[in-house]
Structure 1
C-alpha cells in the first residue's frame, strides 16, 4: 500500500503541530519517523490510521482519501492495548474476525501467528500473565494477523529493556520479511531507526518542515559502518530552527 501525505496541516489546541508536510510511504517499505519530542510523529501516525483528520491537505491510501479507520491500516501502540479479559489466542482471533476471516479458519490462523512471534504454548494466557516483551509479541501478531496492507507502529518497543527491545526489533524485521506490508514506524532512537528503516524521515519541531529524508542501505544487517548515516540523522535532529 502507498500512503501519501500531501501538504497536510495538523493542529492541537489551535496551534500547528505539523505544517505543510509532504511525505510518502512506499509499498512494502518500512518508513521510520523520528524527531524531537512534540514534533508530531504520533500525530502523523494517527492521521495515517484515520483517527485524526488534517486541518488541510490530503492523505491518500493507494490513491483513495483517508477519511476514517480501515482494516487495511492497523495501528500498534507502545502501551499495552491488548484486551485484558481475552487470552492471547482470543486477542489474535479478534483481529482475524474484524478482517473477515471465516470462523472455521480463525483458530488455526491465530495459532500460526502466535507461533510466528515465538509464543506457542501461551495461547491460553491472559495479558496480565505475560511479560512486557511477550505482550508486544502478541500485539505484533494481532496487528499483522488481519493481513493489513499498512501497519502504523507508535514506539512499540520504547518501554522494553535493551535485550528485549533488540529481540523485538529482529522479530519485526523477520516477520515483515515473511509477511511483507507497508510499515510506518515512530521512534526516538536513532540506532533503532537505522536498524529497522528503509528510509528515515526526520521531522522538525511543532510547525516546522521536514528536516531530512534519508535512505538506509540494505540489507540493514550488512551495514557495517553506520557512523556516517547516524551522523546525518543526528545532524538533521540538531538543525537550528528559524522563524
Structure 2
C-alpha cells in the first residue's frame, strides 16, 4: 500500500439538505498523515468528509485529489462510517473478500488474504460469522479491515468508534494506530472527542460555525503514546472552541 494521496479543499461551500453548512473552507491533507476533523455538532465535520469522499459536490469551490478535481467516488478513497455498513448476508471473510475483489485481487488468493486480515484485527475463528452475530466492536474491526484491504490511498472515517463503550473504544483506537502503522495510508478521521483527536491525529483541524469554518489547524506532538504531553495543544483546541461557546459540546 502506498503512503497515500493528497487531498485539498479549495474554497468550498457545502450545504446539507439545502441548508448552508460550510462557507469558503480551504484545507490540505498531506500524504501519509492522520488528519482529525473536530468541532461541535452541526459544524459540518461529516459534510466535509462526504465531500472528500466524492459523495457530496460542493456548491462552490473544488475538492482535489492529487491535484485532480473530485467528481465522484473512487476506490482510492475508502469510507468507514459509524453505523454498521457491513453486508448482513456476507460472512466476515466474505465482506473482506469483496474489498479484495473490487481492487482486482485474483479470486484464487482472496480467501488467504482475507484470513490474514482477520488474524490481524484479532478475529481469528470468526471468519464464518455473519455481522448480526458480532458485537459492535467486532463489527468495527471488520469494517476497518475491509476499508484497508482494498488498498485505498486514503481512508475517510466518520466517528467510527462513537457508539462504542469506553473500553472497546480504547481498544479500537490502539488497533487503528497499529494497523495504520503496518498499512500506511492517508487518513481523515472525524470525532467530537478532543482526547481521541489528540491520541490519533498528526494534525487537528477545529471546525466552527457561523462564518468560521476553520478555527484552528494544530500539529500534535508524537509519538502516539499515552504518556506524551499534549496539554498545550489540548488547551489550544479548547480555546478555539470556547470562543464561540461550543466547548461543552465536544468535551465528553
* TM-score, normalized by the shorter chain, greater than 0.5: yes
Deviation at residue 237 of structure 1 after TM alignment: 1.2
Aligned to 1:54: 58
Q: For 2:170, which of 163, 166, 171 is the aligned residue?
A: 166
Q: Residue 46 of structure 2: SS of its match in structure 1?
A: helix
Give 1:72 shift: 0.4
Q: Tell me the residue number matched to 1:63.
A: 67
Corresponding residue for 1:26? 30
The match for 1:80 among 81, 84, 101 is 84
Cα pair 1:17 1:207 within 8 Å, conserved = no
Match of 2:161 in 1: 157
Match of 1:134 in 2: 138
Q: Find 1:105's aligned residue among 91, 96, 109.
A: 109
Partner of 2:10: 6
Q: Take 2:210 and 2:186, find their aligned partners in 1: how far apart are those partners?
A: 26
Whether contact under 8 Å (1:42, 1:186) holds in the other structure is yes
- Contact 2:154–2:187 (8 Å) recurs in 1: yes
- Pick from 20, 36, 43 the counterpart of residue 39 of structure 1: 43
- Indicate if the aligned counterparts of 1:114 and 1:120 stay in contact, CA closer than 8 A: yes
TM score, norm. by length of structure 1: 0.96
How many angstroms does 1:230 deviate by?
1.1
| SS of the residue 2:225 aligns to | helix
Match of 2:229 among 225, 230, 237: 225
Tell me if 1:237 matches 2:241.
Answer: yes
Q: Which residue of 1 aligns with 2:193?
A: 189
Shift of 1:185: 0.1
1:29-53 CA-to-partner distances (Å, cap 9, x unmatched) read 0000000100000001011111000
Aligned-partner Cα distance in 2 for 1:75–1:206: 27
Q: Do the aligned partners of 2:153 and 2:185 also contact (CA within 8 Å) in 1?
A: yes
When normalised by structure 2's length, the TM-score is 0.93
| 2:94 alignment partner in structure 1 | 90
**Structure 2 gap segments, 5+ residues each:** 246-252
Hey, what's the Cα distance between the residues in 2 that align with 1:206 and 1:141? 37
Runs of 4+ in 1 over 4 A off after TM superposition: none
Determine the C-alpha separation between the residues in 1 that align with 2:146 and 2:73.
16
